[in-house]
Amino acid sequence: MSESKALEPQDLLIELGSEELPPATLTQLSQAWQAALTEQFKQQGLAFTQITSFYTPRRLAVIVHQLAARQEDQMIERRGPALKVAFNDEGNPSKALLGFCKSSGLTVEDLQEIETDKGTWLYAKSLRKGLALDDLIQDIIEKSLAALPIPRPMRWGIGEHEFIRPLHWLTLLYGERSLTCTIKGIDAGCVTYGHRFHAPAAIKLKSPADYESALSAAQVIASFEQRKQSILDQLKTISDDLDAVLDYEDSLLEEVCNLVEYPNAIIGQFDAKFLDIPQEVLVVTMQESQRYFPLYRKDDQRLLPQFITIANIKSTRPEVIQQGNERVIRPRFEDAEFFWQRDKTQSLESRVDKLSGILFEKKLGSIADKGKRSAEIATILATKFGIDAKLAQRACMLCKCDLMTDMVTEFPKLQGIMGRYYAQHDGEDESLVVAIEEHYWPLKSGAIIPSSQLGLVVALADRIDSLLGIFASGKKPSGVKDPYALRRAALSLVRITIESELEFDLNHLLQQAAALLPKTLQNNELVSDVEAFILDRMRGYLVEQGLNKDCFEAVLASRETLTGSAASLSLFDCYQRSLAVSGFRSMPEAASLTASNKRIGNILKKIDSSEVVALDAAALTSTIEQKLCASLDQIETSVEAMVQQRQYTEALHTLAQLKEDVDNFFEEVMVMHEDLAIRANRIALVARVHRLFTAVADIAVLQV
């Protein structure tokens, strides 16, 4: 190969062959490695166009496209000592000069002089030749692997090397040549391996371009997306043939895709008698224990006694794989059937006392203690919303009881769901039955919120107690640590309140709920801290809804005006006001009125409240201020009525009519007149404008 050809950018293939990698985190691992490699190549000044990732259960690989063969040469420039201190009286180099020459790798004769406004300095200028990829690749790979999120690395053999799983081969191919490198005791080569059973022999690669096709011929689909599409196509074909539908979480598909290199879908069956067990139990058993895809009837979404499993081989006798999977699932279903029947022999109510044995938090007591506090909070909310308070109390006392059942002990994911089934079996009120499951909703970001009134009340009560209690115990979220999922609890509280259009004073409720905590945990800052935490989650929620952050800030800035009390807080009312401010923000009058309100606010900040007198319209001296006063007279009553009726958008649109009069006022009228009587009257006039606007929000906060 000619020298010029050798310096042309080529594709680089890096493949780490390993024992089976953990499927649940394989995608994250691959993404992290790609990011780490990207960072390392950039740090080393090696240009490339893009990086393509590949990963299967037995390999992590990347192709770095059009990677430079070496670093660019760099001209290194350094300023040395001043000329006046570079030589001693005899004209010999000083220690400072000799030290500079040594660190620069130059002689005194190699240095240049440079004139500056501070005198003459010696100057070193040298060419640093760029290193070749061959000299850099080992360090790049080692540093990229060291950056991976591997909480529990493994060792293998008798060596000291560690990785998420033992490594067996390293493929390192740049263009058509293999690079010399040793990573974790494995020497690099141009060899990869196909499917463990279908094509176990070594495969010699000619170039990175051959990678995917060579593995495909060896029964390995290297691309995650291609494997995923293959699985999806097979699932659809089988479900269509059975006139059935599929319903599964994306995480199941991703995990199954990371369990196989050559996916083949096989249908299995189970005894229809197991359909008497709640279908959620069967689904969790199939998905979490066996990674099966359940099948449902099209008409009513009821579970069918069939499932689809994804095998990692193309068997000549698929019925053997089918029978093996059917044998495996049967005893699991039999266990579930046993739990179901035994749990029903005791009512949920009979398990209430057992909750005293489950610790919620050391300073807050047991789950039973939490239930009692939640019941008191739910009573307050139920009374507010016209719901049966005793039923709300009972729902809070029973909603965690399924934690004491065999089924939930085996499948924690079913808490709430099994509580609903057991409550229904016990003959509890239907609204209570629904609330037991719904009080956990939303289960994740974007999931549905409770649909029943009782479910809403219990959900709110449970989250309010958790937020206050954990904050009081000194374990509020810090950084990425949030062991009690309080961020999710606060966001759920915000979503439930706003999306269900619930009207209540959150601050007052927090005050009442805080009083239920142990006396040793109560403090003056608790409610304000929790309230601020909830409002911060609301900021994020509103931004996700497409609102500018400053719309919400404008509402909070006028909180005392809009509620009549600095402590009062209605999340739903804040939401309505924020929507109105967002609409106002896009109006052509917004910028001018925002600036005027900022000016008014600055004026009023300098005025002692005792200086603000009642407006005397008859004493206004100029036509312009009289016109502004007349306009206020015309709209003030209607705006106040709109605010009272929560017609905030209409109120702000009406106030926008003041733009011309307000602009003219500030252009022509001197508020701080030397005549104290005139000044006081004009201050009263602008205070009236300010009061009307802040009845909705302090628009001076807007950044328009």
DSSP secondary structure letters along 124-138 = EEEEEPPPBHHHHHH
Name the more confident of 46 and 72.
Answer: 46
User: Alpha-carbon distance 429 to 349, whole Å?
Assistant: 13
pLDDT single digits (tens) 453-500: 999 999 999 999 999 999 999 999 988 889 999 999 999 999 999 999
Report H helices in 386-481: 389-398, 406-410, 417-425, 430-438, 453-472
Residue 3 pLDDT exceeds 80: no
Tokens of 47: 């240009």
Rounded alpha-carbon distances, angstroms, from residue 679 to 596, 623, 668, 674: 18, 16, 14, 7
- 82-86, 145-149, 154-158: which range is least confident on average? 82-86
Closest CA to 324 of 284, 292, 298, 367: 292
- d(CA 471, CA 687) in angstroms, rounded, equals 40
Q: What backbone torsions phi and psi does residue 147 show, to the nearest 5 degrees?
A: -85, -5
Q: Between 98 and 195, where is the model more confident?
A: 195
| pLDDT above 80: residue 659 | yes
Question: Do 599 and 529 contact (CB within 8 A), yes or no?
Answer: no
Quote the pLDDT of residue 114.
80
Q: What is the DSSP string of 465-506?
A: HHHHHHHHTT---BTTB-TT-HHHHHHHHHHHHHHTT----H
Amino acid at 138: Q
Per-residue pLDDT averaged across 109-117, rounded? 80
* In contact, 342 and 408? CB cutoff 8 Å: no
Cα atoms in the 13 Å half-sphere on the side-chain side of 168: 12
Q: Can you list the positions of beta strands (E) in 90-242?
A: 112-116, 119-128, 154-155, 162-163, 167-174, 177-178, 182-183, 186-189, 191-193, 202-204
Q: What is the mean pLDDT of the chain?
A: 92
Q: How many Cα neighbours within 13 Å face the side chain of 466?
A: 23
The set of residues, in sequence order, having a beta carbon less than 8 Å from that of 125 and lying 6+ positions away, is 75, 76, 77, 78, 112
381 vs 111, more confident? 381
End-to-end CA distance of the chain: 63
| 68 touches 133 (CB < 8 A) | yes
- Going through 28-151 in order, the beta strands assigned E by DSSP cover 50-56, 59-67, 74-82, 112-116, 119-128
Rg (CA), the chain: 36
Joined together, the tokens standing for residue 430 give 């239907």
442: preceding bond cis by omega (within 30 degrees): yes
Give mean pLDDT, residues 203-217. Answer: 96
- Confidence class of residue 180 from pLDDT cuts 50, 70 and 90? very high
Contact 253, 259 (CB under 8 A): no
Alpha-carbon distances, residue 352 vs 347, 407, 422, 662 (angstroms): 9, 17, 13, 65
Q: CA-to-CA distance for 188 and 178, rounded, in angstroms?
A: 8
Nearest-CA neighbor of 446 among 538, 535, 541, 533? 541
Residue 11 has phi, psi (to 5 degrees) of -80, 140
Is residue 449 within 8 A of residue 442, CB to CB? The reply is yes
| CA dist., res. 341 & res. 591, Å (int) | 68
Q: How confident is the model at residue 62 (pLDDT cuts 50, 70, 90)?
A: very high
Residue 435 sits at φ, ψ, to 5 deg, of -65, -35
Phi, psi of 241 (to 5 degrees): -60, -35
> What is the spatial distance between Cα 178 and Cα 204, in angstroms, rounded to a whole number?
11
Q: How far apart are CA 458 and CA 456, in angstroms?
A: 6
What does the block give as tokens for 595?
């600036």
Q: Locate tokens 């079913």: which residue?
A: 414
Q: Residue 263: its pLDDT value, please?
A: 97
pLDDT at residue 64 tops 60:
yes
At position 470, the amino acid (one-letter code) is I
Say which residues have a Cβ less than 8 Å from residue 251's Cβ, sequence separation at least 6. 24
Q: What is the pLDDT of residues 395-410, one digit of tens each?
A: 999 999 999 999 999 9
* Angstrom distance (rounded) from CA 628 to CA 632: 6
CA 702 – CA 591 distance, rounded (Å) = 9
Q: Considering only CA atoms, which of 461, 258, 425 is closest in space to residue 348?
A: 425
User: Model confidence at 451, in pLDDT bands (50, 70, 90)?
Assistant: very high
pLDDT at 5 (0 to 100): 56
Query: How many Å apart are CA 526 and CA 475, to the nearest integer?
Result: 12
Q: Structure tokens of 58?
A: 């037995």
**Identity of the residue numbered 610:** S
